[in-house]
Amino acid sequence: MRQRVRCRSALALPLALALVATPLVAAELPLWELGLGVAGLSLPHYRGAEKSTRWLLPVPYAVYRGEVLRANRDGVKALLFDTDRADLDLSLSATAPSRSADEPVRQGMPDLKGTLEFGPNLNLRLARGPGWKLELRLPVRAAFTLESSPRAIGWSVSPNLNVDHALGAWNLGAQVGLLWADRKLNSYFYDVAPAYVTAARPGFSADAGRAGWQGTLGLSRRDKNRWFGAFLRSDSLAGSRLADSPLVRRTHNMSFGVALSWVLWESDRLVPDREALR
């Protein structure tokens, strides 16, 4: 399968760093850190696509450890409340754009725009010990297209179990969960309208409901002013109604990526590592 290498903005960065664990050892750390890096990714054109694209992306490294606003390798969080057992924040997710000309089964159909999803995320801490923690995460997100005039394209729910474990200088993470979406979001990726029906591509109208599952493994390490992260993700549509869409060519997809960043600037002010203390 031929794949192309592209250099674009860091649109796919949330996928690259989807499950890179934060350090679990309590310490005082700079309030903010800034740097630059590069990430290499291999991503399917969409969940269920036949082909993938390789991306080479310049990526910023930005960490902010405020009491309410936090930005780290897990993403940007606006903490709404925080207790020993639970916290509620705002979470983000994104998908990269895809040209229909690059996916044989979508020939002649409109291109898929990049998407951005955001919404509240409830984190429940189920267990923890020295250097590890287990959480149930319950994100609910609204989805929008990334274009000059963004469109609302539905919402998703993706409950998942997440475990983080510190092993020496390495931070390991594992996450597995189910995906649900409303009819509008499922139809954006998997509908075949009458105008695009061909002899090899029958019509299809997606329903609301389960959209498969995802499992992700993440690994990261910080050495002085260098940070390394990697992830491997398995995506499955098996057992979902969406697997019947003629646009689904693979019921299982694999994604992976690596990133290397250099921390160039940091604040003199130190604050407690609140992520480790939770």
The predicted model scores a pTM of 0.83
**Alpha carbon distances (Å) from 184 to 4, 62, 206:** 30, 34, 8
**275: nearest Cα among 114, 89, 144:** 89
**CATH number of 6-277, picked from 1.20.120, 3.40.1130, 2.40.230, 2.60.40:** 2.40.230
- Both tokens of 273, joined, read 């590592």
> What is d(CA 139, CA 177) in angstroms, rounded to the nearest whole number?
11
At 7-43, the pLDDT tens digits run: 443 343 444 444 333 444 447 888 899 999 999 999 9
Q: Rounded to the nearest 5 degrees, what angle is found at the Cα of 275, between the Cα atoms of 272 and 278?
A: 95
Could you say which DSSP state residue 104 is in? G
For residue 234, with 0-12 CB atoms within 10 Å meaning exposed, 13-18 middle and 19 or more buried, which class applies? Answer: middle
Domain boundaries, the chain: 6-277
The kind and range of the H/E element at 93 are strand 86-95
Q: What is the pLDDT along the chain (278 residues), one digit of tens a residue?
A: 344 444 443 343 444 444 333 444 447 888 899 999 999 999 999 999 999 999 999 988 888 877 766 666 555 666 666 677 888 888 888 898 999 999 999 999 999 999 999 999 999 999 999 989 999 999 999 999 999 999 999 999 999 999 999 998 899 999 999 999 999 999 999 999 999 999 999 999 999 999 999 999 999 998 989 999 999 999 999 989 899 999 999 999 999 999 999 999 999 998 887 665 44
